[in-house]
Structure 1
Amino acid sequence: MPKSFVIPRAAEPILRRQAGLLSTVQCEELGIGREVRRRLVGQLRWTSPARGVYDTDPVPLAGRVRDDWFDHAASWRTWFALLLHGPDAVATGCCALVLHGVSGLPRDFPLEVAREDRSPRRTRHDVVVVDYAPFPTVQVGDRVVARIDHAAAQALRRLPRQNALAVLDDLARRHGFTPTRLAELHDLVRRRHGSARLHELFGLVDPRSESFAESAARLSFHDNGVPPDDLQVRFAADGVVVARVDFVWRLPAGRWLVVEIDGVGPHSTQQALVRDAPRQNQLLAGGQTIMLRFRPAENDRPGGIGAQVAKVLTRHHWQPGRYPYEGTPVKLPTPALSGTGT
């Protein structure tokens, strides 16, 4: 095999879709024969994570450096599960949610597939072959996938509470799950064993949550008895919006507690952190706003972020219900400092 071997052009869209993975069948269809594959693996140019599956990126998944690593890893694990069990494997549960583009799943979400003929196969490489009662499916690309509502019902009961709420928030925010559709999904969930702990989460769904970290923080606030008065609130000075913040609580004497979750979404880059500095100055200039900033990992501590926020709110005599949502920007009591807000 010449060293100049390159992957056929016809493989490029498949590799983009399948996170760099190919099955033995696909390789044969593309003209990449057994001997070629054997040499590529032997030369460490490809790897074979399981029999019948090839990874065209020799760098181990955990060691890849890319901005979209979490999305890439979720896609890689999903396609690994599907290719491992052949072309008639049906994506279900979390794997189906990945193909539907739903976010909020944990890094090591459960891998499961079903088979169109419902024939059993043994679990391989932690990929479970499930046998659900018949459920509706859709076509996503060239794969059969559980319909998004049934995929969610299959997946939610196997997820930690934080991730379950994040998935529900994302369904409401980006996938058209209105209150009516969420109620229908709730009915689907009720029929499944182990769903009791999920019931309260449906009452907490908020499409304004923009990331897993925000959903997890909001759940921690709820668990600690301090649900935020509002989310994604805009603050304005002299009629100009100078900031939009993640969470707010209305304190006595016209004061505010603001909580921001750093390191995700719009706060994730160094440029964003630099941009946030003048914005924070504008919020705090009048002395009427208290700001707390947290990293997502702080929510993993006992009590989570909510326990820390609860202490501050108790100190400042917060009580719920003092701020009815109006959808209009909060007016800062004094002119903002010079600088441009976002």
Structure 2
Amino acid sequence: MRTLTDVPTELVELARAQEGLLAARQCDAFGVTSHRRERLVRQGRWHRITHGVVDTSRVPPSQRDGPRRHEHLRRRAAWLGLLAYGPDAIAVGQCALVLLGVEGVRTDVVPEVTLPGARAGRSRDGIQLRQFDDGMTVAPVDGRPVATPDWALAQAVPEMGRLRAVAVMDSARHRRLITTAELAHAHDLARGRRGVARTHSWWVESDGRAESPLETFARLDCVDAGIAPDDLQVEVHDADRFLGRGDLGWRLPGGRWLIAELDGRDIHSTPDALLHDRARQNDLLASGAVDLRRFTGSDVTPPGAPHRGRLVHEIRRTLARERHHSPSNTT
């Protein structure tokens, strides 16, 4: 019986770059014929995903875990669409955003591509073949054509909810993939699409200073609760040095700041990150200029929840207390 070591190393590396997926034509190019692929599938080593595409991982997607699980599943969806529809396929919408490195797209994103000239075709196996935007601009990413950020946002935002739509706009701006003027152009490109009418106010809510989708979600949570932060990425200094930067900030009486820090699991959970965060937090608190609160994603109000989450309650309560006890409110 042949083993996985018989698969050419180059093909293994190619699969790794494509989140474990391979197209039949790629396998053929490295001598792994349809007969060989069938045997690997029968042995449970590879899995057929759709016509012409196999997954080289033994573990089903729903059971995969690890520090980059969410990124892996999003990128896998984007690659699935590209490989299923051949070398001419163009990643569009949310899948284009994923391949461009934009954060904020849902983990269960639907694979979607279009063909040059918006050629017609049939969607299959949960992969959407879109027939729109003949004339859109594309750029190569990992050797494959991908809609440019302005077009990808124009395609994606009308099909997203507000929180994630603003999050992807924030991320694209923060990563310098798109300028403020280009974002306005993306908004213009989106006009006339189905679902765009409800999004017009969202485009002006974007802020490129947000460093993660969680920060965007927290900011919008506070905006909706009537306690919008006064500033983002608030820098705190003492007489001699820079002490740190806070994610969301509210001005307090006496020139102090109420700072909300958002701790994402991937960013803040490593030992080095925890030590750095602790040292920075101690410096900020020792300065006497900061009242610091730390929150995680579970503290942000979920969409459609009947009651506000812990973040809003804690910030509102602290602001009320500080303003009540400020010198201007005492007799």
Q: Could you tell me the TM-score, scaled by structure 2's length?
A: 0.87
Q: 2:319 matched to 1:313?
A: yes
SS in structure 1 of the partner of residue 22 of structure 2: strand
Q: Provide Cα deviations, 1:38-67, integer angstroms capped at 9, x if missing partner.
A: 221222221222332111111122333332
SS in structure 2 of the partner of residue 215 of structure 1: helix
Counterpart for residue 35 of structure 1: 35
User: What is the root-mean-square deviation in Å for CA atoms of aligned residues?
Assistant: 2.3
Distance 1:263 1:172, change over 3 A: closer
Counterpart for residue 166 of structure 1: 167
Contact map agreement 1:213 1:264 (CA 8 A) in 2: no
Counterpart for residue 221 of structure 2: 220
1:116-195 to structure 2, matched below 5 A, reads: 116-134=116-134, 135-195=136-196
Using the TM superposition, give the Cα deviation of residue 88 of structure 1 relative to its aligned residue in structure 2, in angstroms. 3.0
Q: Which moved more, 1:209-218 or 1:278-287?
A: 278-287
C-alpha distance in 2, partners of 1:109/1:213? Answer: 18
C-alpha distance in 2, partners of 1:147/1:236? Answer: 39
Alignment gaps of 5+ in structure 1: 319-342
Q: Provide Cα deviations, 1:165-209, integer angstroms capped at 9, x if missing partner.
A: 111112211134222212212211223221233222222222221
Distance 1:179 1:72, change over 3 A: same
Q: Which residue identity lines up with residue 235 of structure 2 in the other structure?
A: R
SS in structure 2 of the partner of residue 290 of structure 1: strand
Q: Which moved more, 1:299-308 or 1:239-248?
A: 299-308
SS in structure 1 of the partner of residue 278 of structure 2: helix
C-alpha distance in 2, partners of 1:161/1:90? Answer: 26
Counterpart for residue 196 of structure 1: 197
Using the TM superposition, give the Cα deviation of residue 255 of structure 1 relative to its aligned residue in structure 2, in angstroms. 3.1
SS in structure 2 of the partner of residue 216 of structure 1: helix
C-alpha distance in 2, partners of 1:263/1:181? Answer: 29
Counterpart for residue 322 of structure 1: none
Higher helix share: 2
Counterpart for residue 55 of structure 1: 55
Q: 2:278 matched to 1:277?
A: yes
Using the TM superposition, give the Cα deviation of residue 4 of structure 1 relative to its aligned residue in structure 2, in angstroms. 5.9
Contact map agreement 2:214 2:264 (CA 8 A) in 1: no
State the aligned residue count. 318
SS in structure 2 of the partner of residue 88 of structure 1: coil
Q: Which residue identity lines up with residue 54 of structure 2 in the other structure?
A: Y
Larger relative contact order (CA 8 Å, sep ≥ 6): 1
Contact map agreement 2:71 2:107 (CA 8 A) in 1: no
Q: Which residue identity lines up with residue 213 of structure 2 in the other structure?
A: F
Using the TM superposition, give the Cα deviation of residue 69 of structure 1 relative to its aligned residue in structure 2, in angstroms. 2.0
Q: Which residue identity lines up with residue 323 of structure 2 in the other structure?
A: H
Counterpart for residue 45 of structure 2: 45
Q: Which residue identity lines up with residue 71 of structure 1 in the other structure?
A: E
Counterpart for residue 303 of structure 1: 308
SS in structure 1 of the partner of residue 201 of structure 2: helix
C-alpha distance in 2, partners of 1:177/1:22? Answer: 31
C-alpha distance in 2, partners of 1:217/1:264? Answer: 15
Alignment gaps of 5+ in structure 2: 325-331
C-alpha distance in 1, partners of 2:12/2:274? Answer: 37
C-alpha distance in 2, partners of 1:195/1:12? Answer: 42
Contact map agreement 1:224 1:307 (CA 8 A) in 2: no
Q: Could you tell me the TM-score, scaled by structure 1's length?
A: 0.84
C-alpha distance in 1, partners of 2:181/2:117? Answer: 32
Q: Provide Cα deviations, 1:144-164, integer angstroms capped at 9, x if missing partner.
A: 322221111001111121111
Q: Provide Cα deviations, 1:294-325, integer angstroms capped at 9, x if missing partner.
A: 1112212543433542343233339xxxxxxx
Q: Which moved more, 1:217-226 or 1:276-285?
A: 276-285
Contact map agreement 1:45 1:56 (CA 8 A) in 2: yes
